[in-house]
Amino acid sequence: MKIVLASASPRRREILTLAGLAPDEIIPSDADETVLDGLTPAETVMMLAKRKGESVKPRAGEDAVVISSDTVVALGNEILGKPADRADAFRMLRLLSGKKHHVYTGVYITRGGRETLFYNATEVEFYALTDGEIESYLDTGEPFDKAGAYGIQGRGCFLVKRIDGDFFSVMGLPAAEVYRAVSAINNE
């Protein structure tokens, strides 16, 4: 079984490998990531995950299992994507400080004519952060390519008071659900 990851994310590649699904090929998606107004965070990540997978599928080969995903951080219904710059990252971290928010990861898996689409939502609570803590974290450079301006698997772990849900989903791919979905799609 050939597995194609439709993402350049090293975190997603690492998660798949940990789950015993090491990708045979990485084909980053060139899909339009414009978000439609009025969608919930769950609808947004599923729509984007499917777009990404469908854009890669023709290049992957008919029998390949294509796995694509998208992750957003949401405070209520406000979606916090990747920060545009340092000021935007500071704004996001200030918004999240001392609060609970949700991380949504949408996953699209396809092989031949079969497909599955789902999302995972995990609640994350931040400690109350000082401006100095935020600035120190921004100085690491870590927040700038991550939804919500933090990475739980890196230095951003000190921001997090607790999580309720799937740790790997917060990193960008719910490992156990993906493993089971790939097994199911292969046995159809």
Q: What is the pLDDT of residue 97?
A: 98
Q: What is the pLDDT of residue 37?
A: 84
Residue 187, pLDDT above cutoff 90: no
Of 2-6, 91-95, 161-165, 184-188, which gets the smallest average pLDDT?
184-188
If you average pLDDT over residues 82-107, what whole number do you get?
Answer: 97
Cα separation, 23 vs 174, in Å, equals 15
Q: What is the pLDDT of residue 163?
A: 97
Q: How confident is the model at residue 57 (pLDDT cuts 50, 70, 90)?
A: very high
pLDDT tens-place string over residues 137-149:
999 999 998 999 9
Q: What is the pLDDT of residue 46?
A: 97
Per-domain residue ranges of the chain: 3-186
- Close Cβ partners of 10 (under 8 Å, ≥ 6 residues apart): none
If you average pLDDT over residues 47-67, what whole number do you get?
Answer: 95
Architecture of domain 3-186: Alpha-Beta Complex (3.90)
Mapping DSSP onto H, E and C, the string for 138-179 reads HHCCHHHHCHHHCCCCCHHHHHEEEEECCHHHHHCCCHHHHH
Residue 188, pLDDT above cutoff 80: no
Burial of 181 (0-12, 13-18, 19+ CB in 10 A): buried
Site of tokens 């390519």 = 145
Catalytic residues: 70
Instruction: State the chain's mean pLDDT as an integer.
Output: 95
More confident of the two residues 162 and 35: 162
More confident of the two residues 36 and 150: 150
Q: What is the pLDDT of residue 159?
A: 97
- Supply the DSSP symbol for 84: S
